[in-house]
């Protein structure tokens, strides 16, 4: 009798705890999944579809296959933009990650004052990128009225043209981008450092490991998951950065800060060539994907 009842219940699907859990899980996930599909997946597919068409100023002249991509890769300025994007991305990472690591260590060492420091560091992260760009544009203005120029003038130093010199423009944009974002990395790394048991450091000290060895053998391996998050998020953030470039240099001077993201803005939103603009967006997506896969293999691939 009991066996028969259980079979009947299973057949109705109402008493299997695993199935019920799956249904509950599905019910909880579906709304979020629907939002992701609606605002991410569908536009991405539409973007790809648009990249295969000749669309200018919202006028669709039809299917052109891979012509937008062919024209894009035949144009030397695209390759220069990709190179600048990589310079911007890895230049920013090279500056932001060590700074964030130092800040994270400092925040943990300082205790309550560390939290104050973190709050201060977070202010730029809370600001809109375009506001940050305009703020720094005023600070760096190489004329009377510019903050940096005024400070330098006190010491009798003439203004420095950081944004209008093709050699200095990219480092300047990198510095401003890092100033805005490294606090985010510091938060993640602070949390990661907090997960490392203090016993490990004590044991390592007893074993006679130096501070550098402790950092290399304990901190780095155990903070790798946090580092992977930081690198992934910042890579995507830096590779796609465009607002600071628009606000500070408009891709200049002489295209010296025209990254792939800025090229997308220029082609898609200024030149209004929306077919080619979408092709650039797809290329950016693929490069982002390659970079993230690389990180996962480098930092997370050996984990079981």
Partner 1 sequence: MTEFKMDLTRRRVLACAAGFGLAAPFINKAALGQTPSGQIRVWTFMSASGTSPRERVLRAIIDEFQAKHPGTTVVVESQPFQELETRYVAAIAQRRAPDLIWLRDTFLSLVVDRNALADLNEALTPEFRRDALPDMFDVFAQKSVFAGKRISLPLWPTPAQIIFYRKDALREVGLTAPPLDWARFTDVAANLTKGPRFGFGLPTSDNSVSAFINIMSGFGPQIFDPATGRMDLTGAQALETAEVVRQLVARKAVSNTLLNAMGDDIQDQFAAGRFAMAQAFSARFQQYQQIASGYDGRELAVSAWPSFGGRPPAVLLGPYWTVGLSPQTQNKVTAVAFLEALYSREASLRWAKDAGLVPDRRSVLSDPFFSQPAAEVANEYQKLLAGQGAFVFPQRIPDITRIFTVLNTALQKLIGTDAPSRTILTEAKATLGW
Closer CB to partner 1, 58 or 155, in the complex: 58
Among 185, 172, 144, CA closest to 247? 172
Q: Alpha-carbon distance 245 to 215, whole Å? A: 36
Closer CB to partner 1, 150 or 288, in the complex: 150
Whether the Cβ atoms of residue 190 and residue 212 lie closer than 8 Å to each other = no
Q: Is 155 helix (H, G, I), strand (E, B) or coil?
A: coil
**For 144, which DSSP code?**
B
Ramachandran class of 65: left when φ > 0, alpha when ψ lies in -120 to 50, beta otherwise? left
In the list 66, 271, 289, 301, the residue contacting partner 1 (rule: CB under 8 A) is: 271
The number of helices, as runs of H, and strands, as runs of E, in the chain is 15, 2
Applying CB under 8 A, does 155 fall inside the site for partner 1? no
Applying CB under 8 A, does 165 fall inside the site for partner 1? yes
Instruction: Tell me which residue has tokens 């003038």.
Output: 153
Applying CB under 8 A, does 59 fall inside the site for partner 1? yes
Q: How far is the CB of 269 from partner 1 (least distance, A)?
A: 7
In the list 237, 249, 259, 278, the residue contacting partner 1 (rule: CB under 8 A) is: 249
Q: Alpha-carbon distance 285 to 64, whole Å? A: 21
Q: How far is the CB of 141 from partner 1 (least distance, A)?
A: 8
Applying CB under 8 A, does 164 fall inside the site for partner 1? yes
Applying CB under 8 A, does 255 fall inside the site for partner 1? yes
Applying CB under 8 A, does 150 fall inside the site for partner 1? no
Whether the Cβ atoms of residue 174 and residue 95 lie closer than 8 Å to each other = yes
φ, ψ of residue 188 to 5 degrees: the values are -60, -45
Applying CB under 8 A, does 80 fall inside the site for partner 1? no
Closer CB to partner 1, 47 or 114, in the complex: 47
Interacting span for partner 1 (CB under 8 A) from 22-30, 83-91, 115-123, 265-273:
265-273
Q: With CB under 8 A, what is the number of residues at the site for partner 1?
A: 27
Applying CB under 8 A, does 143 fall inside the site for partner 1? yes
Applying CB under 8 A, does 250 fall inside the site for partner 1? yes
Q: Is 43 helix (H, G, I), strand (E, B) or coil?
A: helix
Number of other residues whose CB lies within 10 A of the CB of residue 158 = 9
Where do contacts with partner 1 occur on this chain (CB under 8 A)? 57-59, 142-145, 159, 161, 163-166, 169, 248-250, 252-255, 266, 269-273
């Amino acid at each position: 009798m009991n066996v028969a009842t259980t079979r009947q219940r299973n057949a109705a699907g109402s008493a299997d705890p695993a199935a019920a859990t799956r249904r509950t899980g599905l019910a909880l996930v579906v709304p979020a999944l629907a939002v992701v599909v609606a605002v991410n997946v569908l536009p991405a597919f539409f973007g790809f579809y648009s990249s295969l068409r000749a669309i200018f100023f919202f006028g669709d002249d039809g299917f052109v296959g891979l012509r937008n991509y062919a024209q894009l890769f035949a144009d030397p300025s695209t390759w220069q933009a990709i190179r600048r994007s990589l310079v911007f991305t890895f230049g920013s990472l090279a500056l932001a990650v060590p700074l964030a690591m130092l800040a994270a260590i400092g925040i943990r060492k300082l205790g309550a004052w560390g939290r104050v420091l973190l709050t201060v560091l977070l202010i730029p992260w809370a600001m809109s990128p375009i506001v940050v760009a305009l703020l720094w544009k005023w600070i760096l203005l190489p004329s009377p009225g510019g903050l940096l120029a005024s400070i330098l003038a006190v010491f009798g130093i003439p203004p420095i043209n950081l944004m209008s010199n093709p050699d200095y423009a990219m480092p300047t944009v990198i510095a401003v981008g890092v100033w805005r974002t490294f606090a985010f990395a510091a938060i993640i790394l602070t949390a990661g450092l907090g997960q490392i048991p203090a016993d490990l450091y004590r044991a390592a000290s007893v074993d006679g490991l130096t501070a550098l060895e402790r950092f290399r053998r304990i901190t780095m391996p155990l903070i790798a998951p946090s580092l992977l998050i930081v690198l992934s998020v910042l890579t995507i953030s830096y590779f796609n950065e465009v607002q600071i470039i628009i606000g500070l240099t408009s891709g200049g001077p002489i295209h010296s800060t025209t990254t792939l993201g800025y090229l997308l803005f220029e082609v898609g939103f200024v030149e209004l060539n929306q077919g080619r603009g979408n092709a650039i967006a797809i290329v950016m997506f693929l490069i982002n994907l390659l970079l993230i896969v690389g990180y996962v293999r480098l930092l997370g691939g050996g984990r079981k």
